Amino acid sequence: MAVLSWKHHTLIQSLLERGPLTEKEFHFIFTGITGQNPGTHQGKFNDYLLKINRELSYVQLDLRACRDPYDGRVYFGVVNNVSDDQSKLGTKYSVPQIAFFKAIVEAIAQDVTAEGTICNLDALNIKLENQVLNNSGSQSQDVPAAFKNFTMSHKEKTLDQLVKDKWLCYTEDDNIGLGIRSILDLRSWFHNAGVPSCQVCNEAGFKAKLCPNDGCAVRIHHYCLKKRFSQKGMLVCPSCDTQWQYQPPKAEPIEVGDVETEPVQSQPSSNPGPSQPSLRSKRKRQRLDNVETAGCSSQASGANRKRVTRSSAHPR
């Protein structure tokens, strides 16, 4: 077994300490450590990642990259390759919180409109009892008291914590989407759950554009569609030959706290940056102000009826 140098250790430690990093941030750290830019030394960068992954495989970990379907940016992170009872002991979340998170992920992944979000009100109205029944397959299964006592306040606090830990995210329209840690960690789950893949990159298409033909199940990520459109000038569905109409987004996603990356030597603070609490507080006030709004579920139901013909899009 080869011994990793301090440079490899620093790269691993940066991801473990700070969580998933954007490609720009991770490249900045790599350049600070090695003195070489990954853009001009791609081979050396790949060799570092390959050597790190060989060693991480002994402890069932993996350093991987993925593209965030919400903003199109590439992220790097270290993920656990094992999902068993022993690995679950390391989580700080309670059993009801994990069930709540799982229900949100399933709702987003099973959305046939591929919006990649669930509205706040629908998330808060999720019944954990359904998780027990779904997992047991028996109507007579007793619901644990911890699930019954999981109140609306508990759900609000859990949502904020999951967003803070990057398991979930708030979108620009204040809906709830999957965070970058979920996108990194749940790649195998998306595949096993039958979540339809993007026709171009073959990654999970829970947040994607649908073929204009309602009878076609093809999905393409917006950044994959943009790349294809820029190459060909026009695009037709690879399955049904329906022409796609591509409209570039009006504005790029707002990046919270996207400032100059701090030097490698500095230690990350355990407290969020000054802009982050104000944003979370603002979003929380908006959610509390809108919690009485009843239009959320009806809008979602209408969207589901619109795409109900996409039978192949239902993961099982």
One-character DSSP codes across 146-211: HHHT--HHHHHHHHHHHHHTTSEEE-TTS-EEE-HHHHHHTHHHHHHTTPPBBTTT-SB-SB-EEP
Residue closest to 214 by CA, chosen among 298, 313, 302, 297: 313
**Full-model pTM:** 0.75
Can you tell me the distance from the alpha carbon of 34 to that of 36, in angstroms, rounded to the nearest whole number? 5
Inform me whether the pLDDT recorded for 295 exceeds 70: no
Are the C-beta atoms of 162 and 179 separated by less than 8 Å?
yes
Section 240-246 average pLDDT: 83
Please give the mean pLDDT across all residues of the chain.
79
Asked whether residue 101 falls in the same domain as residue 12, the answer is: no
Based on the structure, what is the number of domains in the chain? 3
Domain membership of residue 231 as a residue range = 208-246
| Token pair listed for 277 | 């609490």
Is position 201 within any domain?
no
Contacts of 87 (CB under 8 A, 6+ apart): 80
Section 139-157 average pLDDT: 82
Report which listed range, 15-19, 88-92, 257-261, is most confident.
15-19
Is position 167 within any domain?
yes
Is position 263 within any domain?
no
CA atoms within 13 A on the CB side of 80: 10
Per-residue pLDDT band for 293 (boundaries 50, 70, 90) equals very low
Among 84-88, 168-172, 281-285, where is mean pLDDT lowest?
281-285
Asked whether residue 35 falls in the same domain as residue 116, the answer is: no
- The predicted pLDDT at position 281 comes to 47
Is position 220 within any domain?
yes
Can you tell me the distance from the alpha carbon of 107 to that of 179, in angstroms, rounded to the nearest whole number? 14
Is position 313 within any domain?
no
Inform me whether the pLDDT recorded for 243 exceeds 50: yes
Any idea what the CATH number is for the domain that residue 179 is in? Answer: 1.10.10.10
**Greater pLDDT, 87 or 122:** 122
Section 20-29 average pLDDT: 96
Q: Which amino acid is at 92?
A: K
Is position 256 within any domain?
no
- The predicted pLDDT at position 255 comes to 42
Are the C-beta atoms of 58 and 77 separated by less than 8 Å?
no
Asked whether residue 182 falls in the same domain as residue 229, the answer is: no
H/E segment holding residue 219: strand 219-220
Asked whether residue 129 falls in the same domain as residue 158, the answer is: yes
Among 20-34, 50-64, 214-228, 293-307, where is mean pLDDT lowest?
293-307
Tokens 């919270």 belong to which residue? 256
Asked whether residue 10 falls in the same domain as residue 44, the answer is: yes
Which one-letter DSSP state was computed for residue 115?
B
Asked whether residue 120 falls in the same domain as residue 63, the answer is: no
Inform me whether the pLDDT recorded for 156 exceeds 50: yes
Question: Three-class SS of residue 6?
Answer: helix
Residue closest to 224 by CA, chosen among 67, 80, 88: 67
Asked whether residue 62 falls in the same domain as residue 29, the answer is: yes
Asked whether residue 123 falls in the same domain as residue 168, the answer is: yes
Can you tell me the distance from the alpha carbon of 176 to that of 108, in angstroms, rounded to the nearest whole number? 9
